[in-house]
Structure 1
Amino acid sequence: MPQKREFEAIAHKEGKWWEIHIHELDRVTQASRTKDIQAMATDLAAVVLDVDPDEVTVHVTLRPPGDVMERWSQARADLERAQELSAKGAAESRAIVAELSKDFTITEVARMLGISTQRVSQLKAKKANEA
């Protein structure tokens, strides 16, 4: 049996239709429903190459409209940065509580920082557990 040929295809919505483009073959087809995209892409490659559909594999990527991917990437980067800042803020909070706790009571530290004594205890415990 001949080796399967593999292709990449991009599908994007054009009005009511999904337009499927296999760049390597410089061919386009359409599908009316998402569930038909894979079959249509495979059939297109098979017809162009004049082979059985079992002899080709087409990996289809759905492309969202407009600037959605750019916005998605920025949102993911923002979330990653927020997580980094949150971790940094938490570490600094623990360090401050540990520093103040050397010279002040839990109640004094809580009043200075405007947090509960329970929160001071939690921050101290987290610092102790991480050591």
Structure 2
Amino acid sequence: MPKHTYSISDLANELDITTRTIRFYEEQSMLAPERRGQERIYSPKDRVALKLILRGKRLGFSLAECKSLIELYDPQAGNLNQIQIMLGMIAERRMQLEQQQLDIQQMQLELDTAEERCRSVLNATSADNIAP
């Protein structure tokens, strides 16, 4: 049974990304298509790697983190190591987001305080200008 392969345009259309994006990930050594002259031939493993990259980007992972996940891809072993490491990365990303959320809430409080002070000064100045 022949192994299914993909052209760069097949993957770009399927995953709704540009061929330039795919070439970028290839330049970053995250994909390794075969070459037939100038034509790139992508394997099912390359397709999975691209899907992992795109999912990782949506989750806020860096390219280096995505690359480490791709390097762990091993369907013969059930990808258990990859899954365990990804769970750790998810937990770490969740903690980062929670901290960012707290930082944003603190910043909003500080903005509220600064706005109140500015409005108080404006109101006091306006009242002074109205007085006879």
TM range (shorter): 0.3 to 0.5
Give the structure-2-normalised TM-score.
0.36
Give the structure-1-normalised TM-score.
0.37
More helix per residue: 2
More strand per residue: 1
Structure with the greater alpha carbon radius of gyration: 1
* Higher RCO, 1 vs 2 (CA within 8 Å, ≥6 residues apart): 1
